[in-house]
Structure 1
Amino acid sequence: MMSVLDGPVITADMARELALSQKVCIRPLLRRVHDRHDDTEDVVALPCGSTREAVCPPCAYKARVLRMQQCTAGWHRTDEPEHCPAPPRDDQDEDQADDDLDRRVRSTRRRQDAPDLPRVPQENRTVGRVFATADGREYRPSMFLTLTMPSYGAVTSAGVPADPPNYNYRRQALDALHFARLVDRFWQNLRRAAGYKVQYFGAVEPQRRLVPHLHAALRGAIPRATIREVVAATYLQLWWPSFDRPVYVHRTPVWDGESYVDADTGEVLPTWDQALDRLAADPEAKPVHVMRFGRQVDMAGIIAPSEDADRAVRYLTKYLTKAVADTHTSEGGPDPAAEAHADRLHAELRFLPCSERCANWLRYGIQPDAAGPGLQPGRCASKAHDREHLGLGGRRVLVSRQWSGKRLAEHKADRATVVREALLAAGLVAPETERLAAAVTLSDGSPRFVWTDTRPDARTYARVLLASIAERHRWREQYEAAKAAGPLVDNRPATAPPTDPG
């Protein structure tokens, strides 16, 4: 009988469909590896690591499961995390207040139309309080919270504007661009009002109307009245130069080697610092944008371990693998009204400034902060302007520093360790993680494995993909056999299955 790896029976498309069903990366990076010890060569598949289901469903699934583990690990802790690293910007929230540039010109007084924040004595803890029942049982509840943005106009049941010409696309676009900053301000205010260092795992997701909202797991229980007070008292003011009226529409400032100048007059555009100085000197200056959360706030108490806790973790990470623009996508195809809604929002986002360094400031006659050559209005490098992201170009997962005491990479390593220990306990040798590593050397100290790029044809792609499927199947059989052979040290819930070894 001919092997599927040897004959031309299996096409690239067939191998791809099989890989999808077996949760194997369908768009791997193929690299040629030369083993200098055996003088052999082979093509190796490296997972693409995409977090988007539309790009690679298997890799997106693994990324989501890893986030589920991270969420579960920190939600119902009973002890304080011992290891609290300073995380990178793309992994965890930095809990920063307004930028120093905003402080330079903004008023330090609270807005008169915003209620005062409740303040209580602060405790140096991150875990929730323990409550006791009449019969002596103890439990430590936590919470699941959802915050939404206000209305920008009436929408239909399908989530599209009922009256598009009168729908406030500009405000929705600005709120989306700065949503993460408003969320940061909320956590700062909540900690002051709750009286302890509230820790959270949050996911920023779009509603069907393409408006961002936040789902968050909170460690510990906070009175619902307090949360509602904090939501009502939280706002964000944007103290920026005005960008209501564009100065350059049909022409663009040019770079003269040192600054951006008017192409016709040669006049140098004011720098970002000069624009802020003018704003600070204006006694009538007002923030160009003020944003708040909407009135709808959903809160639920969660006790773990429980099915409610597992269900909440699954729901919290449900849309992490989807792009913002895919909110309206269904099996029947895109809805024309929804596509038109996304197009109009994208058109508004194209020329709005997303940050102090946004190239769109040139459209309003101001040089961006730290300006350099090559900037063009409407072509900012930030993902927030893309139609795929529709304003949410930053982090989709917001995790506080002391949530689990581990980085995401450490959680991934923990998952691999569980599998390896299970295999070793059953007398099986786990696949060696360094088996093809560039750090492996020969007796003379030179690298044993030499990696080079390759452009395989469809037949090679199918062969390598099938080999990856067979390898995964073999590892899975070994792991299941190890679990059946004896007890497994793995306390994670069913929401977070362990990864394959290797």
Structure 2
Amino acid sequence: MTPSEYLTNGLPDGPIDQSALSRAQKALLALSDDVAQQLAEDHGVCVRPLALRRIELSTGRVDVVPVPCGSTREDKCPPCAEKARRLRMVQCRQGWHLEDEPIVRPADPTEAQKELMAVRADLHAAHALAREAGDETECENIADSVADIDAELRTLGVRGRLAPLDAPGQLPIKRSTRRRQDAPNLPRRPVENRTVGTVYGGRYRPSTFLTLTLDSYGRVDKNGAALDPDRYDYRRAARDAVHFPKLLDRFWQNTRRCVGWDVQYFGTVEPQRRGAPHFHAAIRGTISRAELRMIAAATYHQVWWPNHDHPTYSGDHVPRWDALASAWVDPDTRALLPTWDEATDPDALDAPAHTVTFGEQVHVKGILGGTEEAGRHIGYLTKYLTKSVGQAAGLDDTATSRQRAHARRLAAELAVTPCSPQCPIWLLYGVQPKGSRSSMVPGVCKGKAHRPEHLGIAGRRVLVSRKWSNKSLADHRAERSAFVRQLLAKAGVQPAYAVDDGPFEWETTKAGDPDVPPRPVLLLHAIHQRQRWRADYDAAVLAATDPDCSATESEAA
């Protein structure tokens, strides 16, 4: 092939004489960094490895090793995101169809723990006396002693929140728990201390797959864009998205009280194409469709915040910080803006600022464990975890102009919707946020709920109940590592990458450190390490399946 034919017919598969190519023809050749990155993705190696300095304390040897970035986003690091998604699939599978209770009874307190807690009680009383006497030095000394005791209690295996020395002087605001008149009443049963489902026919213990959605805000097309943007209720859509996590919490509270046992779930929050969040959940055990629909219809969350329908300030006419008063004031009258506690006083609020409810669409399906259908639904639960909220909603390169305009209208409404009591957007409505400070910028909040790519979904994308599998993600990672180590040990394969167990000390590296290699070198080192890991694992599998094959032969193979 002549050089002039390269641009017309493409590059050949065989050797290429680059000296015979023009500059435009050389531009068609693959870059070395792209080849290394594609090879890393093929081997499941992190494409953005971090350089950490590993110091072996016994010998003093220092190595700079690549460590995976741990990203959960496919657009940042596909191998790490896929690894995180598969770990979530394992977590979902292990807890969905359990037949035995995963509840572990806490250990009984030891004598050492009780003795330290008794000393802490004496220090509490001494701190109260010193505070009444106004002895700040003694209070600081007692606080330091309590901090040391708390650290020792943690070392002895005490978990949970320890009582603070300075108890809050103001009682929390109590509001009426009386249900709304337009919400159906739910039966309330004592919650049994069990999490597994009921067995049917002496052998079947099915579980449930649930999907909950929010209400409609207006008609949309097949891509989720509003057909009539002027009639679409963007304000309600933005507020529902911000307060959706609170609605889910209330739903699970109502579910446990209604069915009478400790319901466990593994759920994911994903956006619909219209931008509104919806919720998929794998529930252990069975709950009837009628009960779940009744619970969804009776669940609501009232937002007892100041009214924020119409901003008081806008543009350059915004509140100013008064350094003398350490508070925000009106730009014209210099009058202090009401604080958060004053604005949310029960006497000042006649009605909730917003009420979130579910829509009528509630999808319920029974699933048997170990079936192909169960695996398919686990994959569906974790399908969009590696994508950003905007990508999951279809806001990518294939989005139509109407979809983008719809997303911009929703983002504009989210920009003036407060996301929490600490949100600086409250200053636009003439209210000082909770914990206000001079560094705040009126109307500017860095929370994820206000970013256009998040569509108001600011919380966690995966919600797992405490007693789902009684394991954390770190426990699941440790199980997988232990399985590989046991397989290698059983097959008699000594890993080529094995290092002593330490002790090690890890240090972060800085840009410009002379001992830190460039990122392409780190990437090549990580690929080499993964290839050796795969060779050792394949040798162990071969040795485990063929008893006549020795470890030496397997390693050579």
Normalising by structure 2, what TM-score?
Answer: 0.75
Do structure 1's residue 120 and structure 2's residue 189 form an aligned pair?
yes
Report the Cα distance in structure 2 between the residues aligned to 1:74 and 1:481, rounded to whole angstroms: 32
| 3-state SS of 1:381 partner | coil
Report the Cα distance in structure 2 between the residues aligned to 1:314 and 1:102, rounded to whole angstroms: 46
Report the Cα distance in structure 2 between the residues aligned to 1:241 and 1:332, rounded to whole angstroms: 39
Report the Cα distance in structure 1 between the residues aligned to 2:281 and 2:411, rounded to whole angstroms: 27
Choose 380-389 or 146-155, whichever is displaced more.
380-389
Any conservation in 2 of the 1:83–1:406 contact (CA below 8 Å)?
no
- Asked which structure has the greater RCO (Cα within 8 Å, sep 6+), the reply is 1
Q: Are the structure 2 counterparts of residues 39 and 194 from structure 1 closer, same or farther at C-alpha, using a change threshold of 3 Å?
A: closer
Q: Are the structure 2 counterparts of residues 380 and 210 from structure 1 closer, same or farther at C-alpha, using a change threshold of 3 Å?
A: same
Any conservation in 2 of the 1:144–1:300 contact (CA below 8 Å)?
yes
Report the Cα distance in structure 1 between the residues aligned to 2:186 and 2:498, rounded to whole angstroms: 52
Report the Cα distance in structure 2 between the residues aligned to 1:19 and 1:192, rounded to whole angstroms: 50
Q: Where does residue 528 of structure 2 map in the other structure?
A: 470
Do structure 1's residue 256 and structure 2's residue 325 form an aligned pair?
no
Do structure 1's residue 108 and structure 2's residue 177 form an aligned pair?
yes
Q: Where does residue 3 of structure 1 map in the other structure?
A: none
Q: Where does residue 222 of structure 2 map in the other structure?
A: 157
Q: Tell me the alpha carbon deviations over residues 63-104 of structure 1, each in whole angstroms, 9 at most, x when there is no partner.
A: 11111111111111111113489xxxxxxxxxxxxxxx9983
Any conservation in 2 of the 1:240–1:276 contact (CA below 8 Å)?
yes
Give the aligned length.
Answer: 450
Q: Where does residue 162 of structure 2 map in the other structure?
A: none
Any conservation in 2 of the 1:105–1:239 contact (CA below 8 Å)?
no
Report the Cα distance in structure 1 between the residues aligned to 2:172 and 2:216, rounded to whole angstroms: 29
Return the structure number with greater helix share.
Answer: 2
Q: Where does residue 444 of structure 1 map in the other structure?
A: none
Q: Where does residue 298 of structure 1 map in the other structure?
A: 363
Instruction: After TM superposition, list the pairs within 5 Å mapping 1:426-445 onto structure 2.
Output: 426-430=491-495, 439-440=503-504
| 3-state SS of 2:454 partner | coil
Q: Where does residue 335 of structure 2 map in the other structure?
A: 267
| 3-state SS of 1:164 partner | coil
Q: Where does residue 6 of structure 1 map in the other structure?
A: none
Q: Tell which structure's C-alpha radius of gyration is larger.
A: 2
| 3-state SS of 2:270 partner | strand
C-alpha displacement at 1:456, in angstroms? 8.8
Report the Cα distance in structure 1 between the residues aligned to 2:395 and 2:353, rounded to whole angstroms: 37
Gaps of 5+ in 1: 1-8, 86-100, 441-446, 489-502
Report the Cα distance in structure 1 between the residues aligned to 2:80 and 2:225, rounded to whole angstroms: 32
Report the Cα distance in structure 1 between the residues aligned to 2:545 and 2:258, rounded to whole angstroms: 45
Report the Cα distance in structure 2 between the residues aligned to 1:180 and 1:102, rounded to whole angstroms: 25
Report the Cα distance in structure 2 between the residues aligned to 1:309 and 1:360, rounded to whole angstroms: 44
Q: Where does residue 26 of structure 1 map in the other structure?
A: 47
Any conservation in 2 of the 1:199–1:219 contact (CA below 8 Å)?
yes
Gaps of 5+ in 2: 1-29, 107-169, 547-557
Q: Where does residue 44 of structure 1 map in the other structure?
A: 65
Q: Where does residue 494 of structure 1 map in the other structure?
A: none
Do structure 1's residue 243 and structure 2's residue 308 form an aligned pair?
yes
Q: Are the structure 2 counterparts of residues 127 and 35 from structure 1 closer, same or farther at C-alpha, using a change threshold of 3 Å?
A: closer
Could you say what the CA RMSD is over the residues aligned between the two structures, in angstroms? 2.8
C-alpha displacement at 1:299, in angstroms? 0.9
| 1:181 paired residue among 246, 255, 258 | 246
Do structure 1's residue 358 and structure 2's residue 423 form an aligned pair?
yes
| Amino acid aligned to 1:131 | Y
C-alpha displacement at 1:120, in angstroms? 3.3
Normalising by structure 1, what TM-score?
Answer: 0.83
Report the Cα distance in structure 2 between the residues aligned to 1:330 and 1:243, rounded to whole angstroms: 29
| 3-state SS of 1:216 partner | strand
Q: Are the structure 2 counterparts of residues 237 and 461 from structure 1 closer, same or farther at C-alpha, using a change threshold of 3 Å?
A: same
Report the Cα distance in structure 1 between the residues aligned to 2:458 and 2:397, rounded to whole angstroms: 27
Any conservation in 1 of the 2:320–2:330 contact (CA below 8 Å)?
yes
Do structure 1's residue 404 and structure 2's residue 469 form an aligned pair?
yes
Report the Cα distance in structure 2 between the residues aligned to 1:151 and 1:75, rounded to whole angstroms: 31
Q: Tell me the alpha carbon deviations over residues 353-388 of structure 1, each in whole angstroms, 9 at most, x when there is no partner.
A: 111111111110101112122112332121111112
